[in-house]
Each structure stands twice: as C-alpha cells, then as structure tokens.
Amino acid sequence: MNELITSINDVIWSYVLMVALVVCGLWFTWRTRFVQFRMVGEMIRLLTESAVDTVGDQIKDNGAVGKKRHISSFQAFAVSVATRVGTGNLAGVASAIAIGGPGAVFWMWLIALVGSATAFVESTLAQLYKQKHKDSFIGGPAYYIQKGLKQRWMAVLFAILITLQFGLSNNSIQANTICGAMHEAFGWSPAWVGAALAAMALFIVFGGIQRIAQVSSVLVPVMAVGYIILALIIIIMNIHLIPHVFKVIVLDAFGFSQIAGGGIGAAMMNGIKRGLFSNEAGEGSAPNVAATASTTHPVKQGLIQALGVFTDTLLVCSCTAFIILISGLYQVPELNGIALTQSALQSEVGSVGPMFIAVAIFLFAFSSIIGNYYYGEANIRFITPNTTVMTAYRIASAGLMVVFGAIASFELVWNIVDFFMAGLTACNLVAIVLLGRYAFRLLDDYRQQKRRGIKEPVFHRSQLPEIEDELECWD
C-alpha cells in the first residue's frame, strides 16, 4: 500500500502540481505587479503595528479593562506561521535534500518567491468573503468557493480534503517528528511521548481559537528567533563554506552535477513538494486563519500572510538547509528526516545539538498541531454545526492522529500527507484563479488610498457592487 501511494504521488507531483503551482505563482506575481517584492516594507509595517496593538490588548485583558475578544492581524499571522513553521522546516527540508539532493533547496526558494503572491491572493479573498462567528470571524477557501463560485459541492469537497490533510494526517506528521526527535535525543518511548502530546493538544484545542491564538503568539516568535540565531552562529562559524554551499545548490538544482539524467527532476519535485508542505502557499490552509483577523481592509491580511511565506522558507527553511549542507552529512544514505537535521547540528555544536533540535521540534511541531486542528475545525463548521461531530473531530485530530503518528513509520505518514495535499492544492488553485480578479481590484484600491495619503486604508462592500450582497463583514 505504501508503495502504491508513493507511485501515485510521484505521478501527480511530477506532471500536474509542479507546473500548476509555478504557473499560478507567476501569473499572480504579474497581475499584482510583483506585490511580494514591491510592498515588503508595508508588510513589515502592518505586522509590527499589529504586534504592538496585540500586546496592548493583552495587557488590558489581564487588567480586565476594555477586554477585547477579536483576533488581531498579528495573532492570525502567528497561528498561520505556527502551522507553516514546523516539521517541514526541520524534517521536511532534510527529507528533500536527502532524496532530491542540494538542488531541492533552490526549488524551495523559487516556490516561496512566486508562491508568496499566491498566498497574498488566497488570504485577501478569505478576508473578503469572511463571516461573523461568535467573538471572531470565520472563513477560508470553502467559504469563498461557495459564495464566489456558487459551487457548494466544490466547497464541501475542499472542506473534507483540508480536514483530512491538516486536521488528521498532518498532525500525524508533527507527532511522528516530535517522537523521533525525543527518541534520538533522550531515548524516550514514542508511544509515551505521543500520549503526552495528545493530552496537551486536547487541552488547548478545547479552548477554541482564542486559546490557540494566544498560545501561538507566544510560541512562534520564541521558537523562530531562537532557531534563526543558532543557525546564524553556525553560518558565521563556517562563513568560508557559504560560497561553496550556494555553488552546490545551484549546480545541483539544474542537474549539472549529475552524471546521468534525472537529477533535476528529483530536485524539482522534492523541492517544490516540501516547499509547499512548509510554506503552504496555494494550498488553501493559511486563508482559514487569515479570515479570522479583525482588520480595516482585506489587503492588509493578504500582505501579512505573504510575508509569512518569506519568514517560513527564506529564513527558517534556509537555516536548516545551510546547517545540513555545511555538515556534508546529506550524503550519508542512512540519514533522513529529523535524524539528519539532528546529526548535522551535532556535528557543528556537539552533543547538545540533538537535544536542542528535540526541544525546537517540540515547539515547532506542537504549535503546528494546534494550528492544524483549527483548519479542520473551521471547515467542519462549514459542513455542519453538529456539536457531536465537532467533539469527535477534536478527539480524532488532537488525540487519535497524534498517537497514530507517534507509532507509525516515517515513510507512511509523509506519503499520506503528500496524497491529500495534492487534491487540496488543486481544488484551491482552481478557485483562486477564477476569483483572483477581486483580489487584484482590492490591491488597486489599497494602493490608491495609500497614494492619497491615507495611512490605514478602509474597504466597504459597496466598492464591489456586483458581489455586495455576498459580503457579510464589510459594512
């Protein structure tokens, strides 16, 4: 069965999704006039100001003064980065290099550069079509497919696929990697670690999106900054090797270093596949949490989520890639996944390396577990309001699948994720290509307001009269 799934995945990724992801990314880059490069300064400004406002709101909450329950742009960014910055950054990058060679890193960079425009479009659409839900908002591809395309069946299909992908199979990946890292570093039993993870995850997910957002807004900055600092120290210690590392990546990316043909195909497929797993641009996952943010214009959250792709791949994934390539251990056939990352770090900083990675992967992957859970929750609510179904999903996502991932094989859990990721991405790409014109118009409106000197652009649904009746949250 595992071999069959592998063969199916190879066909889908080799002949369909690689081309679709790159073509869509290039199209969105052109139509937005290179938004991911021209508006980086605005992305950083929006994120910084939102982070400051979030801290202020939390202080007020603790003091019971003017308590606010909405999800800020920074918290939405933190939850989405929590799912992006996880197993893909440590185990996924290592797997891509081990299977596809150093050239896979180049294709991960490429899919991030063009994919950030895709992330902008899908998250802007999620904000545009979001709905009110208790103390926050709710939305995502299922919602803009139903409202924008008027295709209920396609919306339900997406909701089912993302629940299977993130809420269930993706959580098994995170648990598998955490348990592998803990076993490698401390010799702990995967079964016991999996049980403990499930208990912690269940406690958090039963607290709802507010608790998930609060936990993520603390864990994400700590884990990302700490890991980047360590990687920079290693790079500085080996600065003389960096030109060689870039040379190896570029030569291997185009198959120049292979004696026989086929090297470029392996590098492209694994780089793009693991790049998508890591940054999720075009997969339709981040829009689910992007829709929860309270903001004055849909483009604001689109810009912030585009920055998340850069944060994930160009920073965190590159850190892992450089550590592995500097060590040279990617050429050892027996090493793959998190074991390769731990061994590479151990070769640079000594025996503390595997323990540091074990702690880091716990923070990375555990935050991904609770973020992944929310993606499924938002889409279960889209299909049915039944509380029994939601309770069963919570137990399956944060409990059963975490335990399954702890004891399943590395190859099996990754093959399952790749299979569902392919269907999920294909469904979302069709939707955002057909609805992308609204994101382009919103971006034009945002830029025009900025040119008129308006620091904080505001959107009203009357600005899109042809779909005004379908927009619930932009009075």
Higher pLDDT pick, 143 / 398:
143
Residue 430: pLDDT band with limits 50, 70, 90:
very high
DSSP state, residue 134? T
Degrees (nearest 5) of the Cα angle 246, 108, 407? 115
Domains and CATH numbers, the chain: 2-55+71-454 (1.20.1740.10)
Higher pLDDT pick, 77 / 102:
102
Calpha distance 82→285 (Å, rounded): 12
Residue 263: pLDDT band with limits 50, 70, 90:
low
Residue 71: pLDDT band with limits 50, 70, 90:
low
pLDDT at 264 over 80: no
Q: pLDDT at position 157, please?
A: 93
| Token pair belonging to 270 | 């694994």
Mean pLDDT computed over 186-203: 82
Q: pLDDT at position 440, please?
A: 97
Q: pLDDT at position 58, please?
A: 45
Residue 459: pLDDT band with limits 50, 70, 90:
very high
Amino acid symbol at 375 = Y
Calpha distance 12→17 (Å, rounded): 6
Q: Confirm if 88 and 274 have CB atoms less than 8 A apart.
A: yes
Q: pLDDT at position 447, please?
A: 96
Q: Confirm if 72 and 50 have CB atoms less than 8 A apart.
A: yes
Task: List the single range of 23-32, 37-46, 297-306, 343-352 with lowest mean pLDDT.
Answer: 343-352
Residue 457: pLDDT band with limits 50, 70, 90:
very high
The residues with which 71 forms a beta bridge, in sequence order, are: 293
